Amino acid sequence: MEQKQGKILIVDDNEDLLKAAKMHLKRHFAQVDTEKKPEALPALMNNEDYDVILLDMNFTKDVSSGGEGYYWLERILEIDPSAVVVLITAYGDIQMAVKAIKAGATDFVLKPWENEKLLATLHSAMRLRESLDVIESLKFKNHEINQALNERYSEIIGQSSAMQKIFQTIDRVATTDANVLILGENGTGKELIARAIHRNSSRKSENFASVDLGSITETLFESELFGHKRGAFTDAKEDRAGRFELANRGSLFLDEIGNLSLPLQAKLLTVLQNRKVSRVGANKETPVDIRLICATNMPLYEMVKENRFRQDLLYRINTIEIEIPALRERFEDIPILANHFLKHYAAKYDKNAMKISEGAMARMHKHPWPGNIRELQHAIERAVILSSGSVLQPEDFNFAPAPAKEDGQLSLEQYNLEEVEKLLIRKVLKKYNGNITQAASELGLTRSSLYRRLEKYGL
């Protein structure tokens, strides 16, 4: 036998009606309560969470106008804005029904009612209540997720003068609605800066929608950003809002904007100028109110000169520009960053009370960090996992030498003299196809000196 569900409250001054309704409905619902006096509603709602409230429109003080019903409907919704209320009256007409629905009622039934029709109305109202509960739960979860994300990014770690200037810029910019362009190499924390701007803005209670434009194909660009209507293309099974609509009244973060092709740049520019989006497959335009934050690791100004990026789009997105320094330009932040990640991963892998030795810290200072903070984070995690002791040593870190640049020139980002010498020897040996005599001559070394270095570096 199917278990009965649902709590129903019936409020009516007709005692016979209450008895009849309860007798019928208790066979279908887990709990059916009745009440003659609407004044008891606040206390009843305080003690029970009803799925549906059946409320009479007319009590003895006001026989036919429905005024008391509207008053108590308003009180119910004040107590619980998500309450599902079905109004009942013997003097129903279409105008009263419309007014009741506009006032917040879910449905409207006339008495005397047909039992099956009443039952169908209550079941429909129950489904609505379940849907409202699901929506409320999703809103709560979304709030919790956003709060967790905000907490995760609540502290941008850095004490260097370069980072202090960025903090000052965020303070000045966040409270405005100015478009912001964040420049910086991969792994420098561009999204952290974007989230900090949003978190300190007047839009902080609204959505922060992030889009990685580098991962979106040209065919999906419009659907992802502007949304689509059901049937607009093969896989469009239902209507879907795009990121612009999701970010409405909040902030939209477009990462890797330098990856957009010129045709997609034109489409984006049109939306930014008009502040309206049209879903794929729809003719209607929807106004959007967003705070735009963009980021890239690409040289946009050079790309403008080479006609690979639209100048008018660049002007549109960079009202304020923030350039994040590479980690090699803020070496003084390495200890605080390293210890922050150490604390996190030591707790994660149940290796508490870990430390970084002076030797390991010195080695980290010598490394050029081409992957920036992200590389440092991964290096600490790997070291924590593989270390057998409580103090990280230099040998716990396995840094690959900085790669040569594509044009064949040595990377000037490499400051370790031994690493530079190794790279130089490799380059010259490659130039002379391994001929030691020619390589030694090019390097200004004797053959024996070059052999010693080859042995030293394991080349």
Percent of the chain with pLDDT over 90: 42
Whether 211 shows a pLDDT value over 50: the answer reads: yes
Q: Are 45 and 75 in contact (CB under 8 A)?
A: no
First-to-final CA distance of the chain: 79
Q: How confident is the model at residue 9 (pLDDT cuts 50, 70, 90)?
A: very high
Looking from the CA of 49 toward its CB, the CA atoms found within 13 Å total 6
As a whole number, mean pLDDT of residues 220-247 equals 85
Whether 92 shows a pLDDT value over 70: the answer reads: no
Per CATH, which fold does 164-323 belong to? Rossmann fold (3.40.50)
How many residues in total does the chain contain?
459
Q: Give residue 152's pLDDT.
A: 40
Nearest residue to 254 via CA among 154, 346, 181: 181
Nearest residue to 382 via CA among 399, 370, 366, 365: 399
Q: Give residue 407's pLDDT.
A: 43
User: Tens digit of pLDDT for each residue in 93-125?
Assistant: 567 767 777 878 888 787 778 888 888 888 888
Q: Give residue 141's pLDDT.
A: 59
Q: Give residue 385's pLDDT.
A: 93
Asked if 7-133 and 164-323 have one fold, the answer is: yes
Lowest mean pLDDT among 33-37, 248-252, 350-354, 417-421: 417-421
348: which 2 tokens?
Answer: 């994660």
Q: Give residue 182's pLDDT.
A: 96
- For the range 98-103, what are the long-range contacts, defined as Cβ-Cβ under 8 Å and sequence gap of 24 or more? 99/66, 99/70, 100/57, 100/66, 100/69, 100/70, 100/73, 103/70, 103/73, 103/74
Question: Comparing 143 with 226, which gets the higher pLDDT?
Answer: 226
As a whole number, mean pLDDT of residues 346-371 equals 90
Q: Are 192 and 182 in contact (CB under 8 A)?
A: no
Q: How confident is the model at residue 153 (pLDDT cuts 50, 70, 90)?
A: very low
Q: Left, alpha or beta for 209 (phi > 0: left; psi -120 to 50: alpha)? A: beta
Q: Are 106 and 85 in contact (CB under 8 A)?
A: yes
Q: How confident is the model at residue 271 (pLDDT cuts 50, 70, 90)?
A: very high
Q: How confident is the model at residue 298 (pLDDT cuts 50, 70, 90)?
A: very high
Whole-number average pLDDT of the chain: 84
* CATH tag, 327-396: 1.10.8.60
CB count within 10 Å of CB 74 equals 11
Question: Comparing 36 with 99, which gets the higher pLDDT?
Answer: 36
Whether 44 shows a pLDDT value over 70: the answer reads: yes
Buried b / exposed e across 318-345, counting CB within 10 Å, b at 16+? Answer: bebebebbbbbebbebbeebbbbbbeeb
What residue ranges do the domains of the chain occupy?
7-133, 164-323, 327-396, 417-457
Whether 1 shows a pLDDT value over 70: the answer reads: no
Question: Comparing 363 with 459, which gets the higher pLDDT?
Answer: 363
Only one residue has tokens 């629905």, namely 101
As a whole number, mean pLDDT of residues 64-79 equals 79
Q: Does domain 7-133 have CATH number 3.40.640.10?
A: no
Q: Give residue 406's pLDDT.
A: 44
Out of 1.10.10.60, 3.40.190.10, 1.10.287.990, 3.30.70.370, select the CATH number for domain 417-457.
1.10.10.60
Q: Are 286 and 276 in contact (CB under 8 A)?
A: yes
As a whole number, mean pLDDT of residues 180-190 equals 93
Percent of the chain with pLDDT over 70: 88
320: which 2 tokens?
Answer: 């304020």
Q: Give residue 91's pLDDT.
A: 61
Lowest mean pLDDT among 1-5, 233-237, 446-450: 1-5
User: Tens digit of pLDDT for each residue in 384-413?
Assistant: 999 988 999 998 988 755 554 444 444 444
